[in-house]
Amino acid sequence: MDLPRWLTPLPDAAQQRALDTWAIEQHAIPAQTLMERAGAALAEACAEVAPSGRIVVVCGHGNNGGDGQVAARLLRAQLREVEVVEAGSAAAAALPALLHGAAAVIDALLGTGFVGKPREPVAEAIAAINGARRADAALRVLACDVPSGVDASTGEVSAAAVVADLTVSFHAAKPGLWIAPGKSHAGDVRVVDIGIPDAGQPVVPQIGLIAAEVGDAIPRRGPDSNKFSSGSVLVVGGSAAFSGAPVLAALGATRAGAGYVTVAAPASAVPMIAAKVLEVMVTAFPDDPESGPRRGSSRIAVQRADRAQAMVLGPGLGRLAATQKFARDVAAHAKLPLVLDADGLIAHATDDGLEQLARRSDPTVLTPHSGELARLLGISSAEVDAKRLEHVRAAAARAGSVVVLKGDDTLVAEPGGAVAISRGGAPALATAGTGDVLAGVLGAFLAKGVEPFTAACAAVLIHVRAGVLAADTVGLEGVIASDVIGALPRVRAERRPALAGEL
């Protein structure tokens, strides 16, 4: 699919090579000119972050090293003291000593084409740079296009990789700068124009960074709106032990703009849930507190969806065997867009759980964290964390659904392979219950008739922004999920939710 206008394209390594070749061959831009422009941008950034002091430029043997050599030449022209060290040279043995007391180091070892594990002598140079950074907090580390050791296309880090304070990326940022674990190595990301034309480009990136414009896709209430046209959401969840999760999802949906929200919960949990909400309807299906939903409960829950336009299934349901069967039955038979979250996801961690979801006739959006996605795929959470892009795409393809892999780098994948990445930057969301809030926001947007991939991306962006506003209001360490819910109306009131560091 072509990326929507609200995704900033992130070309992978092969696509960036194709763009470079196209600019050189079709637009007669000499390769040396592109290198000079890249090196000039790198030198400018270095002079900005380290306006005085000695600079060390560590170069590899490819184009990345060439960019570093240009930067060194231009910095010397500014009368800066610059040491250039080529990996594998005799001088490389002295790199730790050269880095001692330096103001900045430019990592120009490995470029966007790197995959796998760095080999010697590059691995030794990476270790020296990271060791110097740990030893001297004042040392500024700049990466040329991508930190060495990070896969520019995926964010994977197979061994050691440079940890940068700033990455200067040429023409466009690369996916690996925004996807963990690569994101944690990139520092601030600065994209610079090196003269590759925008019009007529021969590549179509399938990965993009979510921009604020996605908020424009969410309908707003007007003079003719009513509670049902604003979106009706049914939250199916809760249990005697976990009554808060469906409440948070329901209130998230309400504050995100849904006009009518109902919680369908086990009868044993209804009194606790009803006591926590005023504006949300609560309805019961029969259960046994010890063994879970009774026979026929799934049919009742599906019937409750007749007047709803979207369902959120899973928050607080619990993991009893009968509960998991209930969740699978509801997902299979509910004839409306579905957000599958929390225990609803775990219920589908079976050999063919994802394939069962693919057989649904209506759209489905899954919202796992890495542990939940690992269970769905039958692998470890460490494997998911190491290759987040690969695994979120695999899950989306198998489930025939949009998958939202939560994290600071939340990834939204659709079955055809397109992926949207959140900028993140909301550490306040690292608290219990915020995932339930996100599920509710997403349910509200689906209930408004928004296409699932767009709805998921908008929900992620607005959720992040609400986390930022909540932290501004109560302080980062004190944010709880209810604070995020309280911030949602302010974010929805913004025509374009502000984002820090937009490209």
Mean pLDDT of 22-32: 96
When divided into structural domains, the chain yields a total of 2
pTM of the model: 0.95
Is residue 502 scored above 60 in pLDDT? no
Residue 488 forms part of a structural domain = yes
Residue 384 forms part of a structural domain = yes
Is residue 430 located within the same domain as residue 337?
yes
Give me the CATH number covering residue 286.
3.40.1190.20
Is residue 91 scored above 90 in pLDDT? no
With bands split at pLDDT 50, 70 and 90, how would you rate the model's confidence at 503?
very low
% pLDDT > 90, the chain: 92
Is residue 257 located within the same domain as residue 322?
yes
Residue 399 forms part of a structural domain = yes
Q: Alpha helix (H) ranges present in 237-360?
A: 244-255, 270-274, 297-304, 321-333, 343-346, 353-358
Residue 503 forms part of a structural domain = no
Is residue 469 located within the same domain as residue 354?
yes
Residues 290 and 43: their CA atoms lie apart, in Å, by: 67
Give me the CATH number covering residue 201.
3.40.50.10260
Domain span including residue 232: 212-493
Is residue 75 located within the same domain as residue 221?
no
Residue 180 forms part of a structural domain = yes
Residue 501 forms part of a structural domain = no
Residues 495 and 465: their CA atoms lie apart, in Å, by: 13
Q: How many helices (H) and strands (E) does the chain have?
A: 18, 19
pLDDT tens by residue, 217-228: 999 988 888 787
Residue 499 forms part of a structural domain = no
Q: Which is it for strands 287-288 and 292-293: parallel, antiparallel or unpaired?
A: antiparallel
Is residue 153 located within the same domain as residue 235?
no
Question: Considering 163, 182, 205, which residue would you say is the last residue of a domain?
Answer: 205
Is residue 386 scored above 80 in pLDDT? yes
Is residue 201 located within the same domain as residue 216?
no
Which run of H or of E encompasses 86? strand 82-86
- Inter-CA distances, 302 with 74, 194, 208, Å: 68, 56, 36
pLDDT tens by residue, 166-218: 999 999 999 999 999 999 999 999 999 999 998 889 999 999 999 999 999 99
Is residue 51 located within the same domain as residue 162?
yes
Is residue 186 located within the same domain as residue 324?
no
Q: Which of 138, 155, 134 is CA-nearest to residue 146? A: 155
Is residue 365 located within the same domain as residue 392?
yes
pLDDT tens by residue, 335-378: 999 999 999 999 999 999 999 999 999 999 999 999 999 999 99
Residue 498 forms part of a structural domain = no
Residues 455 and 132: their CA atoms lie apart, in Å, by: 44
Question: Considering 181, 205, 229, which residue would you say is the last residue of a domain?
Answer: 205
Mean pLDDT, the chain, whole residue set:
95
Residue pair 251/440 in contact (Cβ under 8 Å)? The answer is yes
Question: Considering 175, 205, 235, which residue would you say is the last residue of a domain?
Answer: 205
Is residue 45 located within the same domain as residue 188?
yes
Classified as helix, coil or strand, 98 is helix
Is residue 62 located within the same domain as residue 135?
yes
Is residue 291 located within the same domain as residue 403?
yes
Torsion of CA 167, 170, 172, 176, to 10 degrees: -40
